[in-house]
């Protein structure tokens, strides 16, 4: 299990889960929060993984000026400097992938390589999508995973009171960042051409939250990027296909 590092940045106390030895890898979590996933444990066998809790999520406070995903990306530029880990591998899942894409499109000099995992951030005109803000927690969980037997096991684990409270804060902060337009920034797509770092896009083939078409669009817009599709997998590869997720990412980062 990771150790917990506490530091202060921009007047807020920040919690970072840290594990492993090797080159630094900054992993930005999705809307569900900063829980330590099995796939992160596999990555920690080759990298020193830093998993911060986003401002406004869990128990971490939000600076008053932080209102958009682009604001969050700029805050993470400051964190990279604060941790003195540049140039750093940066990866992000879902909402965290959107933040990572924004960061790389704005200022990529701090990055070695970029990995986007089932990333939000793009819009496909005319597409009909599930709305995570309209679904209850069980519906969200069932939509997030392809393996429904895994969902049953997850549902059987009653959350502790502090976990339930964190889930409410996570959903509220995700709504602040991605309510309208829904989980996207229309200005991001044309900026993706600015990403000049080696980029890997990992996607669950059966993702119902952010369909594979979004991964394909990221791959089309980021010059020289690679798309790796994981079968029998929904929106959360670091849990549902942890070994394959870590294998694909480790091979790419080690190239």
What pTM does this model have? 0.97
Domain CATH for 226: 3.40.50.1820
Cβ of 36: how many Cβ atoms within 10 Å?
16
Cβ of 192: how many Cβ atoms within 10 Å?
22
Beta strands in 72-170 (DSSP E): 88-93, 111-117
The DSSP code for 192 is G
Residue 90 CB partners (closer than 8 Å, separation 6+): 25, 26, 28, 100, 103, 104, 111, 113, 114, 115
Dihedral through CA 7, CA 64, CA 176, CA 3, nearest 10? 10
* Beta carbons of 252 and 90 less than 8 angstroms apart: no
Number of domains observed in the structure of the chain = 1
Domain ranges, residue 87 = 3-254
> Along the 255 residues of the chain, how does pLDDT read in single tens digits?
899 999 999 888 999 999 999 999 999 999 999 999 999 999 999 999 999 999 999 999 999 999 999 999 999 999 999 999 999 999 999 999 999 999 999 988 899 999 999 999 999 999 999 999 999 999 999 999 999 999 999 999 988 888 889 999 999 999 999 999 999 999 999 999 999 999 999 999 999 999 999 999 999 999 999 999 999 999 999 999 999 999 999 999 998
């Amino acid at each position: 299990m990771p150790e917990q590092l506490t530091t202060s940045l921009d007047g807020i106390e920040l919690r970072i889960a840290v594990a492993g030895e090797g080159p630094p890898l900054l992993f930005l979590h999705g809307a569900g929060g900063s829980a330590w996933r099995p796939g992160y444990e596999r990555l920690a066998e080759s990298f020193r993984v830093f998993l911060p809790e986003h401002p406004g999520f869990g128990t971490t406070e939000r600076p008053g000026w932080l209102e958009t995903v682009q604001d969050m990306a700029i805050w993470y530029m400051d964190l990279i400097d604060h941790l003195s880990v540049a140039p750093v591998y940066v990866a992000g899942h879902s909402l965290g992938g959107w933040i990572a894409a924004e960061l790389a499109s704005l200022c990529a000099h701090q990055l070695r390589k970029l990995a986007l995992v089932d990333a939000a951030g793009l819009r496909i005109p005319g597409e009909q999508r599930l709305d995570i803000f309209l679904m209850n927690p069980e519906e969200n969980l069932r939509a997030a995973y392809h393996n429904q037997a895994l969902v049953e096991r997850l549902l059987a684990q009653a959350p502790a009171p502090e976990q339930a409270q964190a889930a409410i804060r996570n959903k509220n902060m995700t709504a602040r960042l991605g309510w309208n337009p829904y989980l996207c920034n229309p200005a991001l797509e044309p900026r993706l051409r600015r990403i000049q770092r080696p980029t890997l896009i990992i996607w669950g083939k059966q993702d119902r939250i952010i369909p594979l078409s979004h991964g394909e669009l990221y791959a089309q817009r980021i010059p020289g990027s690679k798309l790796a599709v994981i079968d029998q997998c929904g929106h959360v590869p670091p849990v549902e296909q942890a070994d394959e997720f870590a294998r694909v990412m480790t091979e790419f980062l080690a190239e």
